[in-house]
Amino acid sequence: MTPKRQFYLLGWITLLVFPAPALWALWYFKGINPHEIIALHELSTPLILVGLELGLIYALFALAVSRHPYFEEMSHKQEKVLKSLRLNWIDILFISLCAGIGEELLFRAGIQHWLGPWLTSTLFVALHGYIHPLSLRKSAYGLLILPFVLILAFAYESYGLWFCIAAHFSYDLLLFRVFALQQKSN
């Protein structure tokens, strides 16, 4: 399987498979209907625009800090992997939507009901590989993005799932787009 096909397969798994256990557990153990969790009626709220802005602002902050020489080695490894995929706008939109929807359904709507915002956020950062006992740089980057993940965790109750999805989507979209621009200029 080509790396690009693996990329798309992981996207579909994130979008369709990740939320399934969360939605099932909430329905089975708490009696919450998946339609209530997905809350499509919230798609029209202005909070989605605020979520998009939050994600973009935090992505700009993370990009600025990650350009520091301390993170250079780690950034080069990530850029190399992403460059090999030769991402275009469709790829970037796809993976950003998959991650935003799938991961927020799993973590915010699902896991956070049992572990709370602090443990869920720490788990989120750790599962993305940014809490690493053998790499101080990765752990430092994890501490850099942890506040953003915590903001989403605490915003979930007040602003809803789609606010979190919008923020996550725009954060990923900008980061992937920056890597795609670097790919084409090199």
pLDDT of residue 133: 83
pLDDT tens digit string along 67-97?
A: 888 877 666 666 677 777 888 999 999 999 9
pLDDT of residue 184: 52
CB neighbours of residue 61 within 10 Å: 14
**Positions of the chain with pLDDT lower than 50, given as ranges:** none
pTM over 0.85: yes
Distance CA(170)–CA(101), nearest Å, equals: 12
The answer for residues whose C-beta is within 8 angstroms of residue 67's C-beta and 6 or more apart is 75
Tokens of 145: 């993005």
